[in-house]
Each structure stands twice: as structure tokens, then as C-alpha cells.
A and B are shown apart, each in its own frame.
Chain A
Amino acid sequence: MINSFINAAEEMLGAELGSKWKVIERIKKNPAEDSGGWFSISYIVESLDKEKKRAFLKALDYKEAFKSPNLVDKINQMTAAFIFERNVLNTCKEKRLRRIITSIDYGDFNVQNSPYPTQYLIFELADGNIRKYMKISKRLDTIWILKTIHQTAAGIQQLHLNGIAHQDIKPSNILTFNSNITKICDLGRSSVKGENCPTDMFVIPGDKTYAPPEFLYFAIPDDWNTKKYGYDLYTLGNLIVFLFSKGNVTASIFERLSSDLHFNNWTGTYDEILPYINNAFNEFLISFSNDLPSDLRVEIVELVRQLCNPDPYKRGYPKNLNSKHRQFSLEQYISKLDIMIKKVEYGFWRTNR
């Protein structure tokens, strides 16, 4: 059945979308990747005006729905997820959240003999995600790393201030523009405070590789802020570790635990295992500190210690821990990162003047 129909999403190459865009290139995609409940096919599009501006298109791939035994439910679910992401992106656009990828356009597309049209979203085109820059050099420029972290933290804070939790901060979701502007993409897994969200049904909404340990042990915090914003803080800390060392906090914790304490085998509660995780986390921080530039060592370790605290109720800026509304605020971190950038820039200027 799947092969007997034409899938509109797969037939977009060369097509003109309205009078604005032409689809010029299909992008190879990871088959295991979905975008928070909906599968997509990606293209590069070009504007039909004189500007010939290039952009990124993501089309809803209904073919995946046909693999499901509950076809109608699956189509409904995918459509709802698509609409949810589109609406979140619209909110970000309306609120002018400049550290979040901008959705330029959206619409439907169909071809003859296709039983169903596809919906698509068009985004500003990035140079790539941050891993592209990380491929170039083993030791990255510290200023670039700090700016990337700073802009990502600012993006997360912008989302949080608007009641949105991203839930999948990871290197592939941090896009770069002109090598020094960073924006967060893929809001398909996000949650909006007070709304039912497509990924609410998942225990771990984002990529497990960057998820906080309490989620891996199914110890999901009860209150929304701790559950959602706490998740984002941990993934931001994990991103910092990746940028400085290509390491990973969660993996480093499990590297230090025997397999009977692994979440697949553990049968106790998270509170019971937390002292062991905490100990492994501390050991990791000591190793990690040796991988950092000496002039930033203390600040970065402290940043990661607070953002990635394995106890979600102790996660965040220490002075905010007793505040229900400010525990997960990134304001202080953004200021600190700003100071760190200036410190490194000043040091660089002194060395090279």
C-alpha cells in the first residue's frame, strides 16, 4: 500500500511553491530522526524574486503514518504535531525571539495522483549546525565557544520567558549563521506551559543522549517548571561540555557506574541511586576541569555543576533555588557568560596588541 501511492513530500524537487519559492535540492536525512512526532523530508528552496534567497524547507512525510497499524490516529497525531510546531514558531516570530530559528513561510503542496497533500514549513537557511565548525579543529576557539553558549542560553531564556521549554537542546539543534550567530532550531519537541503538547506522551521528549538522568530513571518531577525548564538547563550544561570537550555529562556518569546501576537494570528509586550518580558526576567534573582553559576553569565547572546537577530540585543558580519562579532562570548565567567573553577577548587583545 505504501508504495502504490505517490507521496507528495517526496515529489517536491523542482516544484514551485505559490509564486514565492522553488525547491532546488533534496537533503539526505537521518532515517531515525523525527521532529517531535512528525517525520519530514527536507529540501533547499530558493526565492523566485530577484534576491534568489535560499531557505530550508521541511515537509510533513505522511508515508511514515502508513507504517502504523492505526493509520487515522497516526495521521491526526502527525498533523497535530506539525501544527503545534508551526504555532510555536509563529509565537517566536511574533515575539521576535531572535535566538530562535525564524519560520519564513508555510503552506500545503500536492501533486497529481497523490492521495494526500503535504504541509511544509520554510525556515531561514543556516550555514549548518555547530558540529560543522567542530569538525574543522580539535581545539575550538574559546571565544567562539563562549559566544555559542551565550547565544544558546539567551535563546533558551527567551523561550522560557514565553512559557516554552525546548526539550531537545543538543549540538545538531544549534544552528550557526555567518559563523558567529547562533540560533536554536527544532521546536517540534517543545512544551508550552498550560497547553497540551504532542510530546507530552513521551517520558523523554528529546534525545536520550543529552537527557537528564532523572528522566532515564523514570523519576519525572511533578511540577512543570522542574520537569520542563530543569530539563532544558541540564541539556544546556551538556551542550557546554560537548563544546569544550566533545564529551557528554550523562555518558560520563554511566562510564563511572557499574552496569547493575544502569537505568536499564536498576530496580530501585532515583533517590536510592542519586548518591552514586552524584558521586560519579563529581568525579566527572574533576576530569572535565582538566580539559578547560585555565583562566576559565572555575567558572565553567561551576556553570556545568549548577546546570547539570543530577538532583533536579538543586539544579539552577544557587541563589535562585528557593524561588519557585526563578529557580531555572538563566539570567545570571547569561551575565556571567558575557563577563567571560569580555575577559577572554581582553586577554586575547593584550596578547596580540
Chain B
Amino acid sequence: MIKGFKDDNRRVLPVWRDFKTTMNLGELGLAKKPNQKPKDIGFLKRAEFEWENNKELPFAAELISSAIIANSLSSAKEAADFVVKNSNGLSTILISMANRVLSGDNISSKKSEDCLENIEVKEFRSNIRRLKHVLSENPGNSIAWVDLARNYTILGNEEKACVAIKIATQLSPENRYVLRSAARFYLHTGKSPKSYEILRKSDIVNFDPWVLASEISIASLLNKTSNHIKTAREIINSDNFSSFAISELTSALGTLEFEAGDDKSAKRLFSNSFEDPNDNALAQIIWVSKWLHHPQIETDINKFSSVQCAYEANATSLYLSSEWGKALEITELWERDQPYSSRPAQLAAFIYATCFDDYQKSEDVLKHTLISNPDDNMIKNNLAFALINQDKIPDAEKVLNQFKNPNKIDEQVVWNATNGLLLFRKGSIEQGRDLYLKAISIASQNKMEDYKAFASLYLAREEINASSLEAKKALDYAEAQARKSNDVGILYLYEKIKKMMDS
């Protein structure tokens, strides 16, 4: 069986983007509300005067530099135009500065799609070469080490990524971007306690809302309570921070309150998050309101069209409204935004397989994400599922043999179900049925209703395919399980299988 998309335990974990994108999203600055610092622009006035009286390149160049430093690009438009028109033989850095002035480009105003990566392996290899070159020139650049670690992580080279992230954290142990990236790296590689410790032990966690949001969320993932909840409340209530800067923190705290049953506090905190959320806070709001059906936290995704990189929130919303094609389009953007994460690939693979019967595409997506997640049993299971459905039995067996120690309950359920499918397709119907029933039984014992429903539905599908006498009974049972669920994927699958039976 292929695992559905529903995430039972979403947390506001830090999203690991490359430095440039993170910066452009505004997640590195403006922790506090900006001061109205007096602006001394005497140097800009001098440069303007000199340019007015000397329409020559050196004066144009100086005015462009002064305008960029003063953050007053419009002052140097004419000079920049002059440079661009006379650009033949000029230095690349001067032309680049002139173009920046002409585009009036406040970097952070770029569209988020412009920042998305090409997720081909060769691109990441090329990034690694470039970053190695940068670091050979300056090994003290912690940001480049983090970007290098990220590229290694995407290519599944955990060992090298680990070395790079360690160097970065040693160089900049109190930097928001470095710490959040490191925390996400350790989570990705299954070292959640280390991820928590690196944030908990920092000084910055005591006052930085972004780091604090990650610390609280990872603690919660580990079933721990952060020691900084009080600080978090103080920060939220302090009015010193922009709504955007505390959006992750309010939604992290809101999630805790919601789970503790304090709906009133949760609602208040999520309302704060509504004001100016980043993509992660928005995805958390959608998760609480749409997946967990919190009655008081209802939200319309369309109200948040200005939120950049909101791919997860949008993909989830489209999935939940059964708009499979559109959900796939957004999921592709989500995957490009977070290529190391298996979640967008899992959703895409599920939709391809379940809604479009396109097992080849499902296989392609899963093979791609397996590069970044070589030890992820759930991806291997889903890949085996896609392969079996294309009658690529030997390939599927090979993948299932790589399924390492299915110790977790959810892995045991899917492992039994997928092996059941394999046996069905190999003609061993009874043995296949036994494994499916075992999967259903484990799910049932552990109150994993959605897993139980999926296993029941896929068993029914195989019974129908095999024209077995058990088909009607299996479908009735699957229907009963599906009716208990509110997952649109389960309901869609049930309708599909029912049609199979009817025809």
C-alpha cells in the first residue's frame, strides 16, 4: 500500500532553504521592529553634486556606490543608465551595481518562484563545486558551509554534509540561519536529540523568535517541554517584534496550546499568526484548521496569496479540496523549494498513483527523493508499491529487500501490506491476504485508523482484481473503514475501488 499524505504530527520545524532564498524571504532580518535611525546622506549629496558637474564614468561609479550604500537607488538612475550605455569594456562589478540601481531591485521583493532551484542532480553537483571554490578562498564563511551541507544533504551524502554543518556551527554558533539549518539537518538525518540540543544550548534562543520557534517545536516533537515557553510568551507579548518575525513562534506555541486542549489560547495565538505569516506558519495554520478540523481556527488560504513560498499550505489545501491536478503542480514547486524533504514527493507520488493510476510518474518522483532520503523506509515502500503496480516485480523485490528494520508501527503496517500486494501479484493470494490482514490488525491495535482504511481498501482492490470470493466481503469492510475517515484520499480511493467492483 502507498501511505497517504496526512501528517498526524506536524510541527513548525525550520525550513532549510539556501541562504539567498532565506534572506530574500526576509527571515534573517527585522527581528525587532525597525528603528527610525537618523539617516546621514551627506555622502550621497556630495556624490550627486560631483556627478552633476562631471558626467564621466568615475563620478557615475561613485554615485552608484553611494546610492547603494545609502539604500537610495533612485538617486543614481541617470548615472547607472550612463554606465550601462557605456558598458563595453567596463568591469562586471560596476555593471552589476548599475543594473541593481536600474532595476530598483529591493532583493526581497523578488517573486518566490524566481528563487526556486533546478532539482536536477547535476545542478547540485555544480553548486558543490562552486561552494568548494568559495570555501577554498575563505574557509571561514559559515554561510557557504551551510549551503554546501544543504547540497550534500540533497544528494544524500550525509557524511560530508555532517562535516560541513559542524564547521558552520563552530564558526557561527549564535547565528540564526546557521542554527536553524543545522537543526533541520540533524532532524533530516534522524538525530532529533542533537537537533534539539544545538538550539537549546545556544544563547540566541533566549531572545531570537525564529530560533525559539524551532526549539519549542523540536522539543515537542521529542515529547519534551521547552524551558523557554515563558520567554516565548514574553516575546510575543512584548510588541517589540514584527508580526512576520514572530509568526512561526505564535504558531508553534498555538500548536502546543491546541494539543493541551486550551482552544482559547490556541485561537488567540493562531490569530496572531494570521497577521503576517511566513509559509511555515501558514502551513501550520492549515494543518490545524483543515487536517485537525479545529472548529475555531478556520482559514481561507486565498486570503494569504501574498505569502511567499506557501507551497505546502497551497498543496495541502488543493489536496483537501480534491483538486489533484492543481495540487500536483504546486507540489512540484514545493519539491523545488525543499528538495531534501520527502513530504512533497510523498504527496506527488500518492496523487499520481491513487488518483491518476500513473505509477511510472509515481516511481520517478520517489526515486528522485530517495537520493536525498536513502534510509527512508516509507519512500522505499511507496516505490515498491509503484513498481509492483507496473508489474516490475523483481525491481520491487529488490527495493523491499532494502527496507531496513521496520520497527516503527507505521512501517510495519505498510511493509506487511506492500508484501501482501506483492504476493497477490505473484499469484499467492492466500499468503498475500494474510499479510494484508496482518497489516490491518497492527493498524487496528494501534488505533491507526487511516492506515487501517488504506490497507483494507488495497486488500479489497486486490481481491477484486483476483476475482476472489472474498472480494465483496473485503470491499464492505473497506467501506466501513473508509466511512470513518475524513481523508479525501481514502474516500477517493474507496469510490474508485467501488467502481471496479461495480464494473
Chain B positions 207-261 with a Cβ under 8 Å from a chain A Cβ: none
Q: How far is the CA of A275 from the CA of B174 in the complex (A)?
A: 10
User: B71 touching A251 by the CB < 8 A rule?
Assistant: no
* Given A32-B49, A255-B100, A287-B92, A260:B58 Cβ within 8 A: no
Find the B residue at minimum CB distance from A290: B92
Q: Which residues of A contact B134 (CB under 8 A)?
A: 282-283, 286
* Given A134-B58, A261-B23, A279-B141, A246:B94 Cβ within 8 A: yes
**What per-residue 1/0 map shows which CB atoms of A228-261 lie under 8 Å from chain B?**
0000000000000110111110111011011111
Q: How far is the CA of A305 from the CA of B177 in the complex (A)?
A: 24
* Given A246-B91, A264-B37, A131:B59 Cβ within 8 A: yes
Least distance between A304 CB and chain B CB atoms (Å): 11
Can you give 27 contacting A-B residue pairs, CB < 8 Å? A135-B56, A207-B43, A208-B66, A209-B65, A216-B69, A244-B91, A245-B91, A246-B57, A246-B91, A247-B65, A251-B66, A252-B96, A259-B71, A259-B108, A260-B26, A260-B108, A261-B23, A265-B34, A272-B176, A275-B171, A275-B175, A275-B177, A282-B138, A284-B93, A285-B137, A288-B93, A305-B137
Give 20 A-B pairs besides A254-B69, A258-B29 with Cβ atoms closer than 8 angstroms. A30-B46, A32-B45, A131-B54, A134-B58, A135-B56, A138-B88, A208-B42, A209-B43, A209-B62, A245-B94, A247-B65, A248-B68, A248-B97, A251-B68, A255-B100, A258-B106, A260-B30, A275-B175, A276-B177, A287-B92
Q: Does B480 contact A (CB under 8 A)?
A: no
Q: Does A346 contact B (CB under 8 A)?
A: no
Q: Which residues of B contact A257 (CB under 8 A)?
A: 23, 107
Q: How far is the CA of A220 from the CA of B202 in the complex (A)?
A: 25
Q: Which residues of A contact B40 (CB under 8 A)?
A: 208
Q: Which residues of A contact B61 (CB under 8 A)?
A: 242, 246-248
Q: How far is the CA of A253 from the CA of B333 in the complex (A)?
A: 30
Q: Which residues of A contact B33 (CB under 8 A)?
A: 267
Q: Which residues of B contact A36 (CB under 8 A)?
A: none
Least distance between B57 CB and chain A CB atoms (Å): 6
Q: How far is the CA of A140 from the CA of B394 in the complex (A)?
A: 68
Q: Does B15 contact A (CB under 8 A)?
A: no
Q: Does A291 contact B (CB under 8 A)?
A: yes
Q: Which residues of B contact A28 (CB under 8 A)?
A: 53
**What per-residue 1/0 map shows which CB atoms of B104-137 lie under 8 Å from chain A?**
0011100000000000000000000000011001
User: B29 touching A261 by the CB < 8 A rule?
Assistant: yes
Chain A positions 257-310 with a Cβ under 8 Å from a chain B Cβ: 257-262, 264-268, 271-272, 275-276, 278-279, 282-288, 290-291, 301, 305
Least distance between B203 CB and chain A CB atoms (Å): 11
Q: Which residues of B contact A260 (CB under 8 A)?
A: 26, 28-30, 108
Q: Which residues of B contact A242 (CB under 8 A)?
A: 58, 61
User: A276 touching B59 by the CB < 8 A rule?
Assistant: no
Contact of A276 among B31, B50, B97, B143 (CB under 8 A): B143
Q: Does B39 contact A (CB under 8 A)?
A: yes
Q: Which residues of A contact B28 (CB under 8 A)?
A: 258, 260-261, 276
Q: Give the one of A265, A275, A284 with max B CB within 10 A.
A: A275
Q: Does A171 contact B (CB under 8 A)?
A: yes
Q: Does A139 contact B (CB under 8 A)?
A: yes
Chain A positions 30-87 with a Cβ under 8 Å from a chain B Cβ: 30-33
Least distance between A224 CB and chain B CB atoms (Å): 23
Find the A residue at minimum CB distance from B241: A267
Find the B residue at minimum CB distance from A262: B71
Q: Does B172 contact A (CB under 8 A)?
A: yes
Least distance between B62 CB and chain A CB atoms (Å): 7
Q: Which residues of B contact A278 (CB under 8 A)?
A: 138, 140-143
Least distance between B284 CB and chain A CB atoms (Å): 23
Q: Which residues of A contact B171 (CB under 8 A)?
A: 275
Contact of A251 among B42, B46, B97, B172 (CB under 8 A): B97
* Given A209-B69, A251-B68, A278-B141, A259:B91 Cβ within 8 A: no
Q: Which residues of B contact A138 (CB under 8 A)?
A: 57, 86, 88-90
Q: Does B431 contact A (CB under 8 A)?
A: no
Q: Does B35 contact A (CB under 8 A)?
A: yes
Find the A residue at minimum CB distance from B50: A30
Q: Which residues of A contact B107 (CB under 8 A)?
A: 257-259
**What per-residue 1/0 map shows which CB atoms of B70-99 lie under 8 Å from chain A?**
110000000000000010111111101100
User: A276 touching B23 by the CB < 8 A rule?
Assistant: yes
Find the A residue at minimum CB distance from B35: A267
- Residues of B in contact (CB 8 Å), total 67
Q: Does B64 contact A (CB under 8 A)?
A: yes
User: B96 touching A255 by the CB < 8 A rule?
Assistant: yes
Least distance between A164 CB and chain B CB atoms (Å): 23
Q: Does B281 contact A (CB under 8 A)?
A: no
Contact of A305 among B49, B57, B93, B138 (CB under 8 A): B138
Q: Which residues of A contact B97 (CB under 8 A)?
A: 247-248, 251-252, 255
* Given A247-B65, A258-B23, A267:B57 Cβ within 8 A: no
Q: How far is the CA of A33 from the CA of B108 in the complex (A)?
A: 34
Q: Which residues of A contact B58 (CB under 8 A)?
A: 131, 134-135, 171, 242, 246
* Given A33-B46, A260-B108, A282-B134, A208:B62 Cβ within 8 A: no
* Given A247-B91, A247-B97, A265-B30, A272:B174 Cβ within 8 A: yes
Q: Which residues of A contact B62 (CB under 8 A)?
A: 171, 209, 248
User: B68 touching A134 by the CB < 8 A rule?
Assistant: no
Q: How far is the CA of A257 from the CA of B141 in the complex (A)?
A: 15
Q: Does B144 contact A (CB under 8 A)?
A: yes
User: B31 touching A291 by the CB < 8 A rule?
Assistant: no
- Kindly list the 3 A-B residue pairs having the minimum CB-CB distance in the complex, ordered from nearest: A260-B29, A245-B91, A248-B65
Q: Which residues of A contact B142 (CB under 8 A)?
A: 275, 278
Q: Which residues of B contact A254 (CB under 8 A)?
A: 68-69, 71
Q: Does B282 contact A (CB under 8 A)?
A: no
Q: How far is the CA of A291 from the CA of B97 in the complex (A)?
A: 14
Contact of A209 among B35, B66, B93 (CB under 8 A): B66
User: B178 touching A275 by the CB < 8 A rule?
Assistant: yes
Q: Which residues of B contact A30 (CB under 8 A)?
A: 46, 49-50, 53
Q: Does B477 contact A (CB under 8 A)?
A: no
Q: Does B444 contact A (CB under 8 A)?
A: no
Q: Which residues of A contact B426 (CB under 8 A)?
A: none
Q: Does B291 contact A (CB under 8 A)?
A: no
User: B175 touching A264 by the CB < 8 A rule?
Assistant: no
Q: How far is the CA of A198 from the CA of B19 in the complex (A)?
A: 42
Q: Which residues of A contact B50 (CB under 8 A)?
A: 30, 172
Q: Does B414 contact A (CB under 8 A)?
A: no
Q: How far is the CA of A276 from the CA of B57 in the complex (A)?
A: 30
Chain B positions 1-47 with a Cβ under 8 Å from a chain A Cβ: 19, 23-24, 26, 28-35, 37, 39-40, 42-43, 45-47
User: A267 touching B31 by the CB < 8 A rule?
Assistant: yes
Q: How far is the CA of A261 from the CA of B22 in the complex (A)?
A: 12
Q: Which residues of A contact B176 (CB under 8 A)?
A: 272
Least distance between A158 CB and chain B CB atoms (Å): 26
* Given A209-B69, A251-B64, A31:B49 Cβ within 8 A: yes
User: A32 touching B106 by the CB < 8 A rule?
Assistant: no
Q: Which residues of A contact B143 (CB under 8 A)?
A: 275-276, 278-279
Q: Which residues of B contact A261 (CB under 8 A)?
A: 23, 28-29
Q: Give the one of A32, A33, A207, A254 with max B CB within 10 A.
A: A32
Find the A residue at minimum CB distance from B244: A260
Q: How far is the CA of A195 from the CA of B95 in the complex (A)?
A: 43
Q: How far is the CA of A74 from the CA of B97 in the complex (A)?
A: 39
Q: Which residues of A contact B47 (CB under 8 A)?
A: 209
Find the A residue at minimum CB distance from B20: A256
Q: How far is the CA of A134 from the CA of B62 in the complex (A)?
A: 12
